Chains A and B, each alone.
Chain A
Amino acid sequence: MPGSDSPFPIIGDRPAYDAVVVGASLAGCATAIHLARAGRRVAVVEKKPDPGAFKRTCSHFIQAGGVPAIERLGLLEACEAAGALRSRMHAWTRWGWIEAPPEEAGLGLNLRREVLDPLLRSTAAETPGVEMMLGWGVERLLREEGEFAGVVARNPGGEERELRARLTVGADGRDSRIAELSEVPVKTFPHGRFAYGAYFEGADPAFAPDATIWMMDPQWAAAFPTDGGLTFYAAMPTMERLPEFKRDPARALVDFLGDVPEAPPIREARLVGSVTGKVDMTNRMRKPVAPGLALVGDAALATDPLFGVGCGWAFQSAEWLAEAVAPALGGEGRLDEGLERYRRRHRKELAGHAFFIHDYAGGRRFSPVERLMFAAAARDAKAAGMFDLLGTRRSRPQRLLPRLLPRAVAVNTRHALAR
């Protein structure tokens, strides 16, 4: 708007909110907390009315790369007080275990969503400047002069409210309605595995409290010890295994984990709660911004659950967005420039990871380059350290691969000659 201090046209009344966030899960609550702490007025619209609601189909694991964002949110201590475990990663491969030297290994975070989600939601609700609207769904987006300008929300009683805001944030997950309504460009990548998982108690896996993944090529399995003496066991097989899981999920899960190499004691453990599964997890990468609108968390980038990156990236993307737009929402600088900064940051941090995840998600086996790297990481502590930096998402492929690949060649050559 030429001549105006603010890029947002003020028509009639000033918008009631600086931002309206749709979705009160990890990314939405984190966005609201950051913005409100920066002095912005935020409405959070969530269609689930229950403040204790939590995401059920999730492994809950948060990679070490995402933990600092939780710490900056001021929630790490609360998580640990709630029983969260800090876990290193042990990865089984056909070449041996990949285990970074303990002092170099990233510490991820294990806390059930049942505990984490309400903790985060109550923190958001208690943050001055946040108005929590639980039980409200989004009907449509408001637009003004080519920009998004808030939402029309509706409760189950049929009451509608117009929530005008300078920024609309879609934090509504993999199947984001905001993304759909705003028609931001999306790229999809086929997903060739499915996931089933459940909590068990009574028999800890060998490396507890550390996490274990089995990279069995093409099948994957994982064990995440967590709060309350529980362990989340997950199977992520390719589609031909689906019939056995559909027939009897609990039995198939126990059999699958019980049959992996160096199997965890799942047969001696007791199932707690029910087995959850998800079959269609088409990977989606959306342009995370549009005029007056941004997407965070899974709404922006929903990848393969194989790698346990979703929760961490929800916290991180929320933080990147808040940093980029809070000044503009307070009248300093232009919102479109802030959104562009967020888009570039999101891309720089995650596009490299996403490329490799999408490429592998179809259900294929390891490529020769992947085999080379994983074999080296199993044989060499330094390569294992680099693998850990990458896998726990503490570093980016663009930065690490130029170092890891030559190391992998050297390690494997030495190994071949020594035989």
Chain B
Amino acid sequence: MSAAVERSSLLAGGTRARLVQAGPADATEAVVFVHGNPGSADDWVRLVGAAGAAGHRAVAFDLPDFGETIAPDGFEHTPFGYAEFVAEALDELGIERAQLVLHDFGGPIGLVWAMAHPDALAGIVLIDTGVLPGYTWHRLARIWRTPVLGELFQAITNRRGYRFALNRNEPRGLPREFVETMYDHYDRRTRRAVLKLYRATPDPGGMSENLIGLLAPRDVPALVVWGEDDAYLPSSYAHEQKQAFPSADVHVLPASGHWPFADAPETVERLLVEFLARVGARAAEAG
């Protein structure tokens, strides 16, 4: 089930970002989707539609230099710069409370936003991301982080190589269209942004302790979905999310990889819709 998804754009942080939304546009509480790398607002079309059909306001937008959105001059390509962009986008959209849905690098970005706006966080859905205590970068990230090698790697990556490298690590393979769109968006800007972002994040697990200390006492409603065969962020981290979100409902999906919303779309949609209903019911109970 999905509602009509509306595509438009949003002026925030000095740039015009692609926007995908559904549901009641004037609600001040919304389900906010933050994509990872490589990724874009397109990752979320199905889930935005599903959340909208379930009666929620749902929004997803490109992060600067991803998808078709260009970063303004002087944009800070760090989790902090991106988190600030998210904050500005939500301001612009009139969203005061958010249920975040985060994937991959959208995790650190969304969590930094949550640290700055803890009272605005109504719930959180972590898809192959979250707090990563003790995590050291996956191989591809280590390549990106290495000067010259990273540039070289980005320069020689072509469509075939990209498709091959991506699918090699996925237990079921990803839908062709999904991979093609991802590559279409993997332009020179995105490639440069990726190098900057990963180089600005030397210790991906470093923030975990602060996040856990800040978030755990709040016991924010949380859903964790993780592809069991994720080759980049191991699914052993799925249950670790309870450190930050003690009541989290954790689902490790068998035979799924780093993009569960692409290789197990029905399951992820069902889990998300059920979660939103649960949180909604709890909020109603609390009055």
Contact = CB atoms under 8 A, between A and B. Distances in A.
Given A216-B255, A219-B255, A94 B171 contact: yes
A2 B266 CA distance: 74
A216 B254 contact: yes
Contacts of B264: 259, 261
Contacts of B253: 259
Given A94-B172, A259-B267, A263-B267, A240 B236 contact: yes
The range of chain A's interface size is 10 to 19
Nearest to A215: B255
Residue among B236, B239, B255 facing the most chain A CB atoms (10 A cut-off): B255
Contacts of A217: 171, 255
B222 to A, nearest CB: 15
B166 to A, nearest CB: 15
A214 B264 CA distance: 14
A260 B254 contact: yes
Contacts of A214: 254-255
A261 B251 contact: no
Nearest to B263: A261
A212 to B, nearest CB: 14
B228 interface: yes
Interface in A215-264: 216-217, 219, 221, 237, 240-241, 243-244, 255-256, 258-261, 263
Interface in B39-74: none
Interface string A190-221: 00000000000000000000000010110101
A324 B172 CA distance: 48
B255 A260 contact: yes
Interface string B200-243: 00000000000000000000000000001000000010010000
B236 A255 contact: no
B253 to A, nearest CB: 5
A233 to B, nearest CB: 14
Nearest to A240: B236
A261 B228 contact: no
B236 A259 contact: no
A358 B266 CA distance: 35
Given A221-B254, A261-B264, 9 more contacts: A94-B171, A94-B255, A214-B255, A217-B171, A217-B255, A241-B252, A244-B250, A259-B267, A260-B254
Interface of A: 94, 214, 216-217, 219, 221, 237, 240-241, 243-244, 255-256, 258-261, 263
